[in-house]
């Protein structure tokens, strides 16, 4: 195993914090025991939980207006993997990386797989890109890709997705995430039904090429870059498509891809019930697809999503969601944001595990709204920090990942090794 952060830095950092942690953990254990909860059971469940990092998340993001590059940004997929390795070494919650093609194209996929393995990383879902044109591409996606009116453009978009599957097979991935920016900017621009039919036709060709143990994740988004209509606008469109394609096609929920105030946890419940929940792209937002750090604005909303997941697991509903962060880091060090966000996801999962399901069932059956909502709040308001810290410590990580990361001087080191790209590319991710 390649250690990117010197072990002694982490050990010294942990040594200063461990006594407080032991005391806090024991105290929380007592509190939970009074509620009939075994802290060790919760700890084991949290330790088994992982969330994938998108390779593009370790670069600095941007907006439609500008991008302000950070120091020592990754230059290529190997640099990105290295940053993901640091995140996993310190925060111990992100054992997989989700690649994006063509941004992560390289000449030796075998070498990439071995490098990832040396960092203790594996590959999650592959992400295709038919929302921007690549150099030398025969047909433009300006007016759409899988749903384009021109058959040759659709065929090119299908072929790109098949290439993503092929690359993914070399890396041990088992899923393809398809998000299309296709849609329209003017009323009347697009024939809604025909565009959706073209989507189904193109997607069916991709679906037919899926290896038997693969899944296809359909990601809906209400708007952007098309601002009047998008072809896969909402979970309903996504569900119709997944239903038409077959059992290996499921619906991916990106928390930022809905209208403001939409009840996302209810969508999650519906997709679980239909056997069509693919998984999540976690982030937070206040206005639109803001791609802010998970739980940074509305942690209770994230909790309510996890409440549905934990309830379904508790009730033995068969489902296997894939979890990924999908954020844009414009003003923070992406490594710090991703470690913090991964911890936030684990925190929220732990809080949802604390809800007394039996008491909640009784309150719901008895129409006791106040007790029911108090039961959720009781889980959400429990400070599970000591559990997260113990999980990291036990796995060889840092009790305080951001503190240890800053003490390690990693960013300064790679800033010297990775010269800044003058100008840089657009910041839209």
Q: Is 422 helix (H, G, I), strand (E, B) or coil?
A: coil
Residues contacting residue 263 through CB under 8 Å, at least 6 positions apart: none
Whichever of 154 and 281 has its CB closer to Mn ion, that residue is: 281
Which of 27, 19, 28, 87 lies closest to 53, judged by CA? 87
Stretch near Mn ion under the rule CB under 5 A, chosen from 114-122, 135-143, 281-289, 378-386: 281-289
> Is residue 326 at the binding interface for Mn ion, with CB under 5 A as the rule?
yes
Stretch near Mn ion under the rule CB under 5 A, chosen from 144-152, 262-270, 288-296, 326-334: 326-334
Residues contacting residue 197 through CB under 8 Å, at least 6 positions apart: none
Whichever of 10 and 218 has its CB closer to Mn ion, that residue is: 218
Whichever of 254 and 333 has its CB closer to Mn ion, that residue is: 254
**DSSP per position, 29-44:** HHHHHHTT--HHHHHH
> Is residue 265 at the binding interface for Mn ion, with CB under 5 A as the rule?
no
The binding track of 30-69 with respect to Mn ion, each residue x by CB under 5 A or -, is ----------------------------------------
Residues from 208 through 237 that contact Mn ion (CB under 5 A):
none
Stretch near Mn ion under the rule CB under 5 A, chosen from 140-148, 184-192, 251-259, 376-384: 251-259
> Is residue 284 at the binding interface for Mn ion, with CB under 5 A as the rule?
no
Closest contact distance (angstroms) between CB of 252 and Mn ion is 7
> What kind and span of H or E run contains 69?
none
> Is the separation of the CB atoms in 176 and 245 below 8 Å?
no
User: Please, which residues bridge with residue 324 across strands?
Assistant: 52, 281
Whichever of 326 and 400 has its CB closer to Mn ion, that residue is: 326
- Which of residues 281, 329, 392, 411 is near Mn ion by CB under 5 A? 281
Whichever of 323 and 405 has its CB closer to Mn ion, that residue is: 323
Edge-first strand order for the sheet with 277-282 is: 126-127, 175-178, 215-219, 249-254, 277-282, 322-325
> What kind and span of H or E run contains 126?
strand 126-127
Q: Is 72 helix (H, G, I), strand (E, B) or coil?
A: coil
> Rounded to whole angstroms, how far apart are CA atoms 235 and 66?
31
Closest contact distance (angstroms) between CB of 146 and Mn ion is 17
Interface with Mn ion (CB under 5 A), residue total: 3
- Which of residues 79, 104, 124, 254 is near Mn ion by CB under 5 A? 254
Whichever of 79 and 254 has its CB closer to Mn ion, that residue is: 254
Measured at the alpha carbon of residue 179, what is the angle toward residues 178 and 180, in degrees to the nearest 5?
120
Binding residues (CB under 5 A) for Mn ion: these are 254, 281, 326
């Amino acid at each position: 195993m390649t250690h990117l952060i010197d072990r002694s830095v982490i050990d010294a950092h942990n040594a200063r914090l461990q006594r407080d942690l032991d005391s806090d953990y024991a105290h929380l254990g007592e509190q939970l025991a009074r509620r009939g909860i075994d802290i060790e059971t919760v700890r084991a469940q949290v330790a088994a939980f992982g969330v994938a990092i998108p390779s593009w998340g370790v670069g600095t993001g941007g907006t439609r207006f500008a991008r302000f590059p950070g120091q020592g940004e990754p230059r290529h997929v190997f640099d990105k993997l290295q940053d993901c390795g640091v995140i996993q070494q310190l925060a111990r919650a992100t054992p997989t990386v989700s690649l994006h093609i063509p941004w992560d194209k390289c000449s030796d996929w075998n070498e990439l797989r071995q490098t990832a393995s040396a960092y203790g990383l594996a590959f999650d879902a592959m992400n295709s890109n038919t929302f921007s044109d690549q150099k030398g591409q025969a047909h433009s996606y300006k007016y759409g890709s899988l749903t384009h009116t021109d058959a040759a453009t659709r065929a090119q978009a299908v072929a790109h997705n098949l290439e993503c599957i092929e690359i993914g097979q070399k890396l041990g991935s088992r899923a393809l995430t398809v998000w299309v920016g296709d849609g329209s900017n003017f009323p009347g621009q697009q024939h809604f039904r025909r565009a959706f039919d073209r989507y189904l036709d193109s997607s069916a060709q991709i679906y037919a090429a899926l290896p038997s143990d693969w899944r296809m994740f359909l990601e809906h988004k209400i708007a952007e870059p098309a601002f009047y209509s998008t072809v896969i606008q909402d979970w309903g469109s996504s569900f119709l498509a997944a239903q038409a394609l077959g059992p290996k096609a499921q619906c991916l929920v990106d928390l930022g891809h809905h209208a403001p105030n939409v009840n996302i946890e209810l969508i999650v419940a519906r997709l679980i019930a239909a056997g069509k929940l693919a998984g999540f792209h976690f982030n937070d937002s206040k206005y639109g697809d803001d791609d802010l750090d998970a739980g940074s604005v509305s942690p209770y909303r994230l909790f309510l999503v996890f409440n549905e997941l934990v309830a379904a697991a508790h009730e033995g509903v068969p489902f296997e969601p894939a979890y990924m962060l999908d954020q844009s880091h414009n003003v923070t060090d992406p490594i710090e944001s991703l470690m913090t966000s991964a911890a936030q996801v684990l925190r929220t999962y732990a809080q949802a595990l604390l809800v007394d399901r039996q008491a909640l069932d009784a309150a719901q059956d008895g129409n006791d709204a106040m007790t029911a909502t108090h039961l959720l709040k009781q889980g959400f308001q429990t400070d599970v920090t000591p559990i997260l810290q113990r999980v990291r410590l036990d796995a060889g990580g840092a009790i305080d990942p951001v503190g240890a990361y800053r003490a390690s001087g990693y960013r300064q080191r790679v800033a010297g090794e990775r010269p800044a790209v003058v100008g840089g590319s657009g910041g839209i991710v």
